[in-house]
Amino acid sequence: MAAAARFFTRGAHSKLSLVAVGGGGGAHCSFGAALLNASPTCNSRTKTQRRHAAHFTFQPDPVPTQYGPTQKMNLFQSITSALDNTLAADPTAVIFGEDVAFGGVFRCTVGLRDKYGKDRVFNTPLCEQGIVGFGIGAAVAGATAIAEIQFADYIYPAFDQIVNEAAKYRYRSGNLFDCGNLTIRAPWGCVGHGSLYHSQSPEAFFAHCPGIKVVIPRSPVQAKGLLLSCIADQNPCIFFEPKILYRAAVEQVPMESYTIPLSQAEVLEEGSDVTLVAWGTQACADERKENNLRGVKGAKPSPHDPCAEGSGKHGPRETGGVMRGHRSTDHPALGCGYRLQVGGENWPFAHQPRGPNNRRLCF
Amino acid sequence: MAAVSGINKMYGVCLHAVRVTAGLRAARLLQHRAFRVGAVHQQQPFDSSLEKPQFPGASAEFIDNLEFIQPNVISGIPIYRVMDRQGNIINPSQDPQGRISFYMTNYGEEGTHIGSAAALDPNDIVFGQYREAGVLMYRGFPLDMFMAQCYANADDLGKGRQMPVHYGSKDLNFVTISSPLATQIPQAAGAAYAVKRENMNRAVICYFGEGAASEGDAHAGFNFSATLECPLIFFCRNNGYAISTPTNEQYRGDGIAARGPGYGMMSIRVDGNDVFAVYNATKEARRRAVAENQPFLIEAMTYRIGHHSTSDDSSAYRSVDEVNYWDKQDHPISRLRHYMTARSWWSEDDERSWRKQSRKMVMEAFEKAEKRLKPSPELLFTDVYQEMTPNLDKQRQSMWRHVQQYKEHYPLDLYDK
């Protein structure tokens, strides 16, 4: 996690450009960007750093004022709020999955069944391929279908339905049919004690698949707005919710409905030396103190071409490099998509090791 | 002995029914059978004072004999039919009096298509597998549109993107076919649930073969539709083969109909080559599925006379004699024709002239579709998402640049603009 930051210690006055980026391949990804500080010196590694446990401190954003009155909510409460707004406004909306009726194993659907009825918030049998297949069919028939997969680690039985069916429904039917009304939600990412099967970040598998959108929020305010955007979006969306943030992330979140655009990344800080890309929990990592990196402003690349489109003065061409920080396996990782796209678009030779100003490209 | 009598309680009426002529009792969709699925799925109230089992997961009695339930020890679920192989009505009360009006060739399985399609409302949503062209044709899909899809020409509603027979029609409520098998089964359950909430007297029917019924998606779809109480008809065309795989390599139980009660689902097996039996069963299943919000499973026994596809030569795995039997002795079209000729509604002259006319119509549609332009290459890039994305737009522009640069290699005059 801090490894990405450790690479970057060259030169004086290194300014990082921090960018939240969409996924490679065909997926739309919406991310938050990490805050990094770059120090004038390169001696950050002389001090030994001792970690006692995987941890970070969530930094809430300033209270948003443009969406109406707010209320203190953690991440799972912001999800509940989004679902509540949706069920209230859209009579066709239904929420289903394992254990959602009593409130869900992460409390994301607490109170909704009592408020909206058992035909709208209901348990399904324990079968992920069924949950997603059912969701696709409901969406095709015109309902707003919100499917919950209990952990992203268990999404694989539904992989065929997602990749072969949901993603291709509109294209293969010549736009006669589509399942744009489908949103799949799943708890995502490492939590410290989850081990192999309660910690996975499988976004890379889906980012490769055109026809779906993959969205990962970094905070409660982002989560509610992005989830509402996914539900409204007329393409099937997968919304991964960083489970470590369910209780740890607390912000003032607007109570009314609002949306955050899916196809734009979010800039957290601007800079001119390197473009740093991160999503989900990684975007919350406060690595300033640990890595002596100076925070800089970032650009706002588009989801498909993280570093060229719309980067303006903050893309890697301008800053001198791209780093990606994420919490998935590096086997290869989602960042490889960036590498090729950055390589293809911004540099005449994909293997060119150094960018302008003789800066090394880091991946 | 208690075990046997226990089993008899479950299957007692079934054993009795097997002894009588098939087709008479089976017509009532297991209503009077002891497959009392309605009782099973409701969890009894907990009462620890009773000696009865209190497990929430099953509603049953205790026994003290160790005995396994043997599959297949009783005869298979009987096959409901209305006509014999010569087209004679067996039980006149089952004769539906001429609501069928059209034929189409999906060789050997025509009875399953026409019988079921005729029993549905036009608003009912159809999820198919790929061997249900007759359903689409019954609903009025023009020959030209079938041809357009098969030729992937500029008239294809699917914009030329899929292999032949992957047809679909929004107007006719026929969801576009996809190649992966059985994926439509849980989707049909979801669509039926949405349709139930709309409360507009609509049902959903889902077709699949006995091979696709082995997929996990089939299990998922059956279970979801039963637990979520969906107005849905599962229609299994058991045609004896999944490409080269015969049914005894596909399953060991009593076909697909026997699985229905395991899910708490009303189930029936019908003679799929008897268009009236298919019609009657589908009609009743549809009526009750909508009225009672529960799924019905119809297993239509039939035979795939043709090869699996043009890529297949079935003489590699089955005998010509076997195929000939079904073609000559038990063909759905022949049986209906015998029924009609016996009533002077059809004659040999009608048969000859209709065959000639049909051939002409089909050949003309072939030639017309063949001559049409192909869809515009632009359509490679649209509909991936609802909106065109920057990434795809770049690829599209790159494609055109390439095609312009090397235009002598690309026959653009064959493609729509």
d(CA A315, CA A274): 8
Q: Which one-letter DSSP state was computed for residue A94?
A: E
Q: What is the pTM of this model?
A: 0.82
**Subunit contact A134:B193, Cβ cutoff 8 A:** yes
Q: Does A235 touch chain B (CB under 8 A)?
A: yes
| Tokens at B193, concatenated | 């649930």
Q: Does A172 touch chain B (CB under 8 A)?
A: yes
Confidence of residue A305 (pLDDT cuts 50, 70, 90): very low
Q: Does B41 touch chain A (CB under 8 A)?
A: no
Q: Does A263 touch chain B (CB under 8 A)?
A: yes
Token look-up 């899909």 returns B141
d(CA A246, CA B229): 33
**Subunit contact B176:A177, Cβ cutoff 8 A:** yes
d(CA B42, CA A157): 29
Q: Which one-letter DSSP state was computed for residue A98?
A: T
In angstroms and rounded to an integer, the radius of gyration of the C-alpha atoms of chain B is: 25
Q: Give residues 7 to 36 of B whose Cβ lies within 8 Å of A.
A: none
Q: Does A218 touch chain B (CB under 8 A)?
A: no
In a mutagenesis test of the B interface, which of A154, A163, A172 is the best target, namely the one with the most B β-carbons within 10 Å? A172
Q: Does A133 touch chain B (CB under 8 A)?
A: yes
d(CA B383, CA A115): 37
CA B31 to the chain's CA centroid: 23
d(CA B52, CA B62): 7
Sheet-wide strand order for A322-325: A267-269, A16-20, A274-278, A322-325
Q: Does B237 touch chain A (CB under 8 A)?
A: no
Q: Where are the alpha helices (DSSP H) in A239-350?
A: 245-248, 288-291, 316-319, 335-346
Residues 6+ apart with CB under 8 A from A320: A272, A273, A274, A355, A356, A357, A359
Catalytic residues of A: 128, 198
- Residue A140 to chain B, least CA–CA distance (Å): 7
Nearest-CB residue to A134 (from B158, B190, B389): B190
Give the pLDDT score at A76. Answer: 98
Return the SS3 of B103.
coil
Q: Give residues 152 to 171 of B whose Cβ lies within 8 Å of A.
A: 156-159, 161-162, 166, 168-170
**Subunit contact A174:B183, Cβ cutoff 8 A:** no
Confidence of residue A354 (pLDDT cuts 50, 70, 90): very low
Residues of B in contact with A26 (CB under 8 A): 384, 389, 391-392
For residues A189 and A243, is the Cβ–Cβ distance under 8 A? yes
Q: Does B247 touch chain A (CB under 8 A)?
A: no
Token look-up 């009314």 returns A256
Q: Which one-letter DSSP state was computed for residue A163?
A: I
Q: Does A54 touch chain B (CB under 8 A)?
A: no
**Subunit contact A125:B227, Cβ cutoff 8 A:** yes
Token look-up 């010549």 returns A174
- Residue A131 to chain B, least CA–CA distance (Å): 8
Kindly report the backbone phi and psi dihedral angles of residue A137, in degrees, each rounded to the nearest multiple of 5, phi listed first.
-60, -40
Q: Does B376 touch chain A (CB under 8 A)?
A: no
Q: What angle do CA B320, B273, B131 make, to 5 degrees?
A: 80
For residues A288 and A35, is the Cβ–Cβ distance under 8 A? yes
Kindly report the backbone phi and psi dihedral angles of residue A250, in degrees, each rounded to the nearest multiple of 5, phi listed first.
-130, 130
| Tokens at A231, concatenated | 């539900």
Query: Of A213, A211, A225, nearest to A169 (Cα)?
Result: A211
Nearest chain A residue to B206 by CA distance is A137
Q: Say which range, A192-206, A298-312, B334-348, has the weakest mean pLDDT.
A: A298-312
**Subunit contact A172:B219, Cβ cutoff 8 A:** no
**Subunit contact B158:A176, Cβ cutoff 8 A:** yes
Residues 6+ apart with CB under 8 A from B213: B182, B236, B251, B256, B259
Exposed/middle/buried for B96, CB within 10 Å: 0-12, 13-18, 19+?
middle
Q: What angle do CA A215, A216, A219 make, to 5 degrees?
A: 135
Strands (E) located in A160-286: 182-188, 213-215, 237-242, 250-254, 267-269, 274-278
Residues of B in contact with A139 (CB under 8 A): 190
d(CA B48, CA B13): 32
Q: Give residues 111 to 140 of B whose Cβ lies within 8 Å of A.
A: 125, 127
**Subunit contact A174:B156, Cβ cutoff 8 A:** yes
Give the pLDDT score at A319. Answer: 56
Token look-up 């290699």 returns B409
**Subunit contact B191:A168, Cβ cutoff 8 A:** no
Q: How crowded is residue B26: how many other Cβ atoms within 10 Å of its Cβ?
A: 24
Most confident of A18-27, A301-310, B176-185: B176-185
Return the SS3 of B399.
helix
**Subunit contact B383:A157, Cβ cutoff 8 A:** no
Give the pLDDT score at A235. Answer: 98
Kindly report the average pLDDT of chain A as a whole number: 76
For residues A290 and A62, is the Cβ–Cβ distance under 8 A? no
Q: Give residues 22 to 41 of A whose Cβ lies within 8 Å of B.
A: 26, 28
**Subunit contact A137:B190, Cβ cutoff 8 A:** yes
d(CA B237, CA B209): 5
A92-146 residue pLDDT tens: 999 999 999 999 999 999 999 999 999 999 999 999 999 999 999 999 999 999 9
For residues A266 and A33, is the Cβ–Cβ distance under 8 A? yes
Print pLDDT tens along chain B (417 aa).
Answer: 444 444 444 333 333 433 333 444 444 443 433 333 344 455 667 777 777 787 777 777 888 888 777 776 667 888 889 999 999 888 877 765 432 333 334 889 999 999 999 999 999 999 999 899 999 999 999 999 999 998 899 999 999 999 888 999 999 999 999 999 999 999 999 999 999 999 999 999 999 999 999 999 999 999 999 999 999 999 999 999 998 999 999 999 999 999 999 999 999 999 999 999 999 999 999 999 999 999 999 999 999 998 888 777 889 999 999 999 999 999 999 999 999 999 999 999 999 999 999 999 988 998 898 899 999 999 999 999 999 999 999 999 999 999 999 999 999 999 999
Report which residue type is found at A2. Answer: A
Q: Does B318 touch chain A (CB under 8 A)?
A: no
Q: Which helix (H) or strand (E) holds B184?
A: helix B184-198
Nearest chain B residue to A209 by CA distance is B384
In a mutagenesis test of the A interface, which of B169, B172, B187 is the best target, namely the one with the most A β-carbons within 10 Å? B187
Nearest-CB residue to B383 (from A28, A140, A175): A175
**Subunit contact A125:B223, Cβ cutoff 8 A:** yes
pLDDT over 70 (residue A53):
no
For residues B334 and B84, is the Cβ–Cβ distance under 8 A? no
Q: Give residues 269 to 328 of A whose Cβ lies within 8 Å of B.
A: 302-305, 309
In a mutagenesis test of the A interface, which of B215, B222, B225, B389 is the best target, namely the one with the most A β-carbons within 10 Å? B389
Give the pLDDT score at B30. Answer: 38
- How many CB pairs (< 8 A) connect A and B? 164
Residues of B in contact with A132 (CB under 8 A): 186
Give the pLDDT score at A233. Answer: 98
d(CA A263, CA B336): 58
For residues B276 and B94, is the Cβ–Cβ distance under 8 A? yes
